[in-house]
Structures are given as structure tokens and as C-alpha cells.
Amino acid sequence: PNKLKLYSYHKWIGMTVLLLFVPRLLWRLTHTPPKALPMPAWQHRIAEGTHHLLYLLMFLVPLSGWLMSSAKGFQVVYFGVLPIPDLIGKSEELGDLLKEVHEALNWGLFGLVGLHVAGALKHHIIDRDSTLRRMLPFGK
């Protein structure tokens, strides 16, 4: 019972991330970000690539989990109240494949978040610029 409850919480968090991704993406597309601080071109390319991949994974990770749950025959019931429709039919083989995809995407997201944090700390500690303060809502 506890394992099923934890899986439900995990799914609720994933669906919430997916729901919050939409307004976040709309905000990002309609608001110009602050101008980049001076840095070498290769660092700027890595930063932009990392941001694009983070957005992509913020969408793909919960979507792959939803697809996996659908394929494995376990419907997502948001907060135990609202049944979310399955996106695909039940298929054991597809469910196993989607589980691997979901796990791989999660590891990729984990690595990118680590890279993002490392870059922010590098700018703050080594370069001593305002990158980290600009990222934090209370640092402005």
C-alpha cells in the first residue's frame, strides 16, 4: 500500500510539473530574458543549449511517465480524484520500453540540472559576476 501511495504522489508531481510547464513556456516565449553577461562564446552556447534541453526535458520526462503508466495499464488519477485519460493502449512491451526511456530522460535531466548549478556557482564563486543573483528571485 505504501509503495502504491508513493507511486501516486510521484505521478501527481509529474502531472503538476507538466501542467505548470505550459504557462512557464508561454511566459518564456512572450518575455525577453535579461541580456547575457559578457562571457566566451563557447560558454554562451553551452548555456543556451542547456536551457533548451532543460525545457525539452521538463516536458518529456512527465510525458514519458504518463505514456509509461498508460502502456502498463495504470491510469493516472490526479490527486486521487481526477482520472487523466490514457494516451495509449495497454502494451507490456511498450510499457517496458517507455520505462527505460523515462529513466534515461530522468538521468539526463538530473545531469543537466547539475551542470546548470555548477555553471551558476562557477559564475558566482570564480567569475564573481551577477549571474547567480540574476537567477534567484530574491537576489535582484
Q: What pLDDT digit, counting tens, does each position of 90-104 carry?
A: 999 999 999 999 999
Task: Determine phi and psi for 83, rounding to 5 degrees.
Answer: -70, 125
Q: How confident is the model at residue 60 (pLDDT cuts 50, 70, 90)?
A: very high
User: What is the average per-residue pLDDT within 117-130?
Assistant: 92
- Is 70 exposed, middle or buried (CB count within 10 Å of its CB: 0-12, 13-18, 19+)? buried
Name the packing angle between helices 41-72 and 92-122 (round to 10°).
150
Length of the chain in terms of residues written: 140
pLDDT at residue 76 is higher than 70: yes
Q: Please, which residues have CB within 8 angstroms of residue 7's CB and are 6 or more apart in sequence? A: 74
Rounded to two decimals, the pTM is 0.87
**Taking the domains of the chain in order of start, what are their residue ranges?**
2-32+41-135
Q: Is 126 exposed, middle or buried (0-12, 13-18, 19+ CB in 10 A)?
A: exposed
Percentage of the chain beyond pLDDT 90 is: 80
